[in-house]
Chains A and B, each alone.
Chain A
Amino acid sequence: MVERGAEPAISATLRRGLVAARALTTPLMPDAYLQLLNPKWATTELRGVIEQIRPETHDSATIVIRPNLAWPGHRAGQYLRLGVEIDGIRYWRAFTLTSDPDHPRGVIAVTVKQVDGGLMSTYLLTKAGPGTPLFLGEVQGEFGIETAPSRPLLMISAGSGVTPMFALLRQLDQRGWLTDVRHLFCVRTPADVIFGRELEQLAARVPGYRLDLWYSASKGRFSPDQLDELCPDWRARQTYLSGPADMIDSFKQHWDDAGLLEQFELERFQPRAGADIEPGRGGTVRLRVSDTVVECDGSTPILQAGEDAGMSLRHGCRMGICHTCIGRLAAGSVRDLVTGQTTSEVGEMVRICVSCPEGHADIEL
């Protein structure tokens, strides 16, 4: 299995027509021929082209994308798996959607910050331009505010972690829920503030929103110790946090120590196996096709354990998204290292990059 774009929503009539036309195009789908007439007529996966690249800071930009078919929609705070072809090879990464879900022209946008040595962010910011084709994957992420907040809000963001906050703030503003929101935004220098102008304008226009910028280049890294000083009533607020992994870990610990974890929502951008769950029992797994047995402790994914044992296993994202590495569970049970759930459903397809055996498991791989 190779990762591919999301299945576009097309009318049932068209879908039926395409299935019927397959009698003439088998083993291919009619798409294969329709695309020769117009590349936009791809109904098997959602695609798009870059319409505009708007610089935000010296190393970040908002990329406006026009989908080839109707955009299935997203919620503020979610992210999109974006596929790009670089030197003949397709790569996938996740980026926060920063466009208005109800954009009148049907376009979407992601905001990208250049990562040192990052293949895709570098390509998008330096090589891509209007007209560059993209593949639009699944919209994912549970981060969001769907009902009117029952208590005041505290938003903590660092660096490009501001992107989901920006999407949430726009939604809060549109719905009139921006009544008491504190936003602590940590960046290196004033030149690194993504969406700085928009956020300042929002703060000037809406009294219920207060923005505090923390420049780590002069003041050092923002840590939970500064909370009491910067936002003394943090315990009374529902908190949303988005930033690098080590920052998330320290703040999460702080809320945990205060016994306030249910008031704490975090966005890791990408699920990290084992980060938010207790380790399991671990165990052994037998890979049936090659007939090899490997041992995993309670937090090591089967893929990792297999590779450590010298095997070459097919894989993609290594974080449970792309399904490249899946194998069929033939016996025993495995634990999902992202959700912590255990399954022993024989026949279930298991993503070995985020699964760990509980006891012994047999996987057809």
Chain B
Amino acid sequence: MKLTEQTKTANPIDRLSAEQIEAIGNEFQAIHDEIFASLGEHDARYIRGIIEFQRRLAALSRLVLMASRYKPAWLLGTAGLSLAKILENMEIGHNVMHGQWDWMNDPDIHSSTWDWDTASPAAAWKHSHNYVHHTFTNVIGKDHDVGYEIMRIDPRQKWEPAYLAQPIYNLLLMALFEWGVAVHDLDFKAIRSGSKPRSQAWSELKAIGVKARRQIIKDYLAFPALSGSEWRKTLAANVIANLVRNVWSNAIIFCGHFPDQAYTFTEAEIEDETRGHWYLRQLLGAANIEGSSTFHLLSGNLSFQVEHHLYPDLPSSRYQEIAPKVREICERYQLPYNTGPFGKQWRSVQRTILRLAFPGGIERPKADPYVAPPIDEAAAAAELDIAPGVPAFP
């Protein structure tokens, strides 16, 4: 991907000294080590509780859908299955496959054994996401999640006529997100350029085929068949549940890196990158979404995208507790802390996709350094009532 000549907004990292960057890196690392050392029974109960709830919900929804001929049963079953799929993909699958729960040493809740309820095979996703995206976060040309190879979401990406159609790709990707994610790791550019051997691409494609066949048989053949003569209604319910999950996960993930506030980086900027610089890139390249605790759960705590990018291997249930510590570092070093309400973040992403379909475009204003809001006495008192640590579930 070629960069245009356009100059970019000064990156907040540029005004930090090497010593400051190192100190920030050490502070971020200290938070990680402190949380990691405190993991235990409490956290294990949380993830097992979520998994059990999700499985009961999925099984119950499938059962209710056996009676999909009755409208209330259809509605209830479809809603339940959509919710179950969202929980499974976001709070459970994504986070387990990141290795956030590997410390439990439980072979059934482990990044090496988990596979999720979506078209993407676990191994392919772990490569494109855990390795490529989380290592080269927001580095144009390296992180294939910047525009997913089909969209221009940064004005520094060179415009091509194909981008005129990106508002349409965008809608298609929303609806078919699981399939987009499934083929993402194939890396069509690498196949075309010959840097990925044909044989490897072929074996990856076969793995996708195996996974996709199982998913299709389950959702579009086996369960509809179990509903007998009303199979069409159950089929429709399953299509809708997958669609709801696709649109939702697409929205959350697009809000993680594409809002106006998030910074992108060039390959030159990450040459000889230190640990401190890596942490700062994660901080600046991600954006949070504000919301209720239910919203955080349904987003798989990716509403704490900043914390997730700083600590992809810490349990998602701890991000809420980590956030104030991160904000405190931001305030001390006059760094921005990218966050905003869901509607605002989502609209800014959609605006960018529409605008950058056309040539030109300028970099949008970035956030000011973080300043803690003045302490509200009542809110502070209420805060004290909230037990620190892991949120109770359910």
Asked whether B107 lies within 8 Å of A88 as measured between CB atoms, the reply is no
C-alpha gap A26/B88 in the complex (Å): 13
C-alpha gap A91/B103 in the complex (Å): 11
C-alpha gap A3/B116 in the complex (Å): 21
Task: Check if B179 is an interface residue, CB within 8 A of chain A.
Answer: no
Q: Scoring A residues 2 to 33 as 1 if CB is less than 8 Å from chain B, else 0, what string do you get?
A: 11100000000000000000011111100011
Known: A24-B222, A36-B59, A89-B105. A2 touches B40 (CB 8 A): no
Asked whether B55 lies within 8 Å of A36 as measured between CB atoms, the reply is yes
Least distance between A281 CB and chain B CB atoms (Å): 33
Asked whether A4 lies within 8 Å of B55 as measured between CB atoms, the reply is no
C-alpha gap A33/B42 in the complex (Å): 23
In this complex, what residue of A is CB-closest to B93? A27
In this complex, what residue of B is CB-closest to A83? B105
C-alpha gap A185/B255 in the complex (Å): 70
Most buried by B among A4, A85, A88: A88
- A3 interface neighbour in B52, B107, B214, Cβ under 8 Å: B107
Most buried by B among A4, A23, A26, A27: A27
Q: Across the interface, which residues of A come within 8 angstroms of B40, CB to CB?
A: 87-89
Q: Across the interface, which residues of B come within 8 angstroms of A33, CB to CB?
A: 55, 59
C-alpha gap A23/B43 in the complex (Å): 32
Known: A88-B39, A88-B42. A1 touches B222 (CB 8 A): no
Q: Across the interface, which residues of B come within 8 angstroms of A192, CB to CB?
A: none
Asked whether A23 lies within 8 Å of B41 as measured between CB atoms, the reply is no
Task: Check if B13 is an interface residue, CB within 8 A of chain A.
Answer: no
C-alpha gap A4/B52 in the complex (Å): 20
Q: Is the interface of B mostly helix, strand, loop or mixed?
A: helix
- B117 interface neighbour in A3, A27, A85, Cβ under 8 Å: A27
- A2 interface neighbour in B105, B217, B218, Cβ under 8 Å: B105
Q: Across the interface, which residues of A come within 8 angstroms of B79, CB to CB?
A: none
Q: Scoring A residues 201 to 238 as 1 if CB is less than 8 Å from chain B, else 0, what string do you get?
A: 00000000000000000000000000000000000000
C-alpha gap A26/B221 in the complex (Å): 13
Task: Check if A364 is an interface residue, CB within 8 A of chain B.
Answer: no
Asked whether A26 lies within 8 Å of B41 as measured between CB atoms, the reply is no
Least distance between B334 CB and chain A CB atoms (Å): 34
- A90 interface neighbour in B52, B55, B105, B214, Cβ under 8 Å: B105
Asked whether A27 lies within 8 Å of B116 as measured between CB atoms, the reply is yes
Q: Is the interface of A mostly helix, strand, loop or mixed?
A: loop
Known: A2-B110, A2-B113. A23 touches B105 (CB 8 A): no
In this complex, what residue of B is CB-closest to A88? B44
Q: Across the interface, which residues of A come within 8 angstroms of B344, CB to CB?
A: none
Task: Check if B198 is an interface residue, CB within 8 A of chain A.
Answer: no
Least distance between A346 CB and chain B CB atoms (Å): 17
C-alpha gap A89/B41 in the complex (Å): 8
Least distance between B123 CB and chain A CB atoms (Å): 12
- B41 interface neighbour in A1, A25, A87, Cβ under 8 Å: A87
Q: Across the interface, which residues of A come within 8 angstroms of B358, CB to CB?
A: none
Asked whether B55 lies within 8 Å of A88 as measured between CB atoms, the reply is no
Asked whether A27 lies within 8 Å of B44 as measured between CB atoms, the reply is no
Known: A2-B110, A36-B52, A36-B55. A90 touches B217 (CB 8 A): no
Q: Across the interface, which residues of B come within 8 angstroms of A2, CB to CB?
A: 102, 105-107, 110, 112-113
Task: Check if A45 is an interface residue, CB within 8 A of chain B.
Answer: yes
Q: Scoring B residues 331 to 342 as 1 if CB is less than 8 Å from chain A, else 0, what string do you get?
A: 000000000000
C-alpha gap A91/B214 in the complex (Å): 34
Q: Scoring B residues 92 to 112 as 1 if CB is less than 8 Å from chain A, else 0, what string do you get?
A: 000000000011111110101
20 CB-based A-B contacts, threshold 8 Å: A2-B107, A2-B112, A3-B105, A3-B107, A23-B218, A27-B115, A27-B211, A28-B55, A32-B55, A33-B55, A36-B55, A87-B40, A88-B42, A88-B44, A89-B40, A89-B104, A90-B104, A90-B105, A91-B105, A316-B105
- Spell out B's residues near A (CB within 8 Å): 39-45, 52, 55-56, 59, 62, 102-108, 110, 112-113, 115-117, 211, 214-215, 217-218, 222-223
Assuming A23-B214, A27-B115, A85-B106, what are 14 further A-B pairs, CB within 8 angstroms?
A2-B106, A2-B112, A4-B107, A24-B218, A24-B222, A28-B55, A32-B55, A32-B108, A85-B44, A88-B42, A88-B44, A89-B103, A90-B105, A316-B105
